[in-house]
Amino acid sequence: MERSGVRILLLDDEPFILKLHAHMLKEMGFVSIRAFESGALALADVDAGHVPDLVLLDLSMPEMDGIEFIRHMVKRSFAGRLILISGEDERLLQTAERLVRAHGIDILGHLAKPVKPAILRGLLDSWEQRTSFTPRGPGKVYSGEELRKAIRNGEIINYYQPKISLQTGDLIGVESLARWQHPADGIIPPARFIGLAEQIGAIDELTGVVFHKALVDMRALEERGLPLPFAVNLAVTTLNSVEFADFAAGETMRLSVSPANVMIEVTESQLIADQRAPLDVLTRLRLMRFKLSIDDFGTGYSSLSQLRNIPFDELKIDQSFVHRASADPAARAMYDASLGLAKQLHIKTVAEGVEDRADLEMVKGSGCDSAQGYFIARPMPASALPGWAEGWRDRAKTLFRA
């Protein structure tokens, strides 16, 4: 099968490796492949308009290593995917992968040299199943005024990612995720506008819209016979706004939604600085019977102190410790440590990033409470949830049968 719509950039300082990888990709049906032995030449090609959808990148190169190349691609608003390739040790590859994710780049995984065609094919097939190889191209830059207008015009909508029980397979909640429904450019993911909202001081307004629409959508689903708790993420600035607790309480009262069905998610890295305002907001929310979740656990700097200081109801184990943990001893060790800590503190656990059957089987057998990820469902509009839930019930009978 020819996959001519996908533009691939290969970067490796070894000519033989470049030819080998290009041959592998052609055997898999890819035809639009550009290969370079130096980062400088690759960047010049990108600047000339050949923006890739996928980069296969060697980490260890003279003059410009892979980490520096990634930094240059971030400056160019790279919106494609990336696979890291290196002869370095596994721990270093994992660290580099986390750095790529921190830059907001979608990484498909990392491969050790020599690359095995079957493993490379597996990564690319997984991508194909998730995205149908829709090229994303360069990220368009939007102005602050465009975003403010979008918020005023109701263009910010919510998608929802289901969360399931790992004991029964039942749908037990959803996480609300903002999307920009642009009249010309279609659905724009949050990575393209959340940072802009923070820069122009519109993040609180944006969060308010997301929170309100989640309440409205959940009420509508309840009326259709699908009552669901939902989670919403708070930005750093919102955590520093002591008015948010009153706003949240007022909205739930006005729309007759129980605060006990609303989970407020915060990442542990958000709580590192001055904790007075966040502690004020989160403690009041907890007193109002909202539930609290610590997201991306294990990726911040003060995890243990956050669990001690704040009465969290839920701990979400970061996807970097979940996906492929069944074959990655270091990731599995971090996963087990996070899970064990939560259990000792009597906090419910969620495994994020369940992307294949192996991930699901691992978390099912570990004693984790619930899970979410692409293997279960991608984020979707609220209107699609009832249909998905019906199909999931049939699928869960197979995945969760005794």
Segment 355-379, tens digit of pLDDT: 999 999 999 999 999 999 999 999 9
Total count of domains within the chain:
2
Structural domain range at position 285: 144-399
Segment 252-311, tens digit of pLDDT: 999 999 999 999 998 765 555 556 667 788 889 999 999 999 887 766 544 566 677 778
Domain end, chosen from 131, 161, 178, is at 131
The Cα–Cα gap between 311 and 390 comes to: 35
Based on the fold, state whether residues 104 and 221 are members of the same structural domain.
no
Based on the fold, state whether residues 368 and 326 are members of the same structural domain.
yes
The CATH number linked to 282 is 3.20.20.450
The Cα–Cα gap between 165 and 158 comes to: 23
169 part of a folded domain? yes
Handedness of CA 320, 321, 323, 325 (dihedral sign): positive
Segment 22-73, tens digit of pLDDT: 888 888 888 889 999 999 999 999 999 899 989 999 988 888 888 899 999 9
Instruction: Tell if the pTM clears 0.85, that is, is over it.
Output: no
C-alpha torsion 378→163→81→335, nearest 10: -160
pLDDT at residue 139 above 90? no
The Cα–Cα gap between 197 and 145 comes to: 10
Handedness of CA 267, 271, 277, 282 (dihedral sign): positive
pLDDT at residue 140 above 80? no
Based on the fold, state whether residues 46 and 126 are members of the same structural domain.
yes
Based on the fold, state whether residues 312 and 339 are members of the same structural domain.
yes
137 part of a folded domain? no
The CATH number linked to 67 is 3.40.50.2300
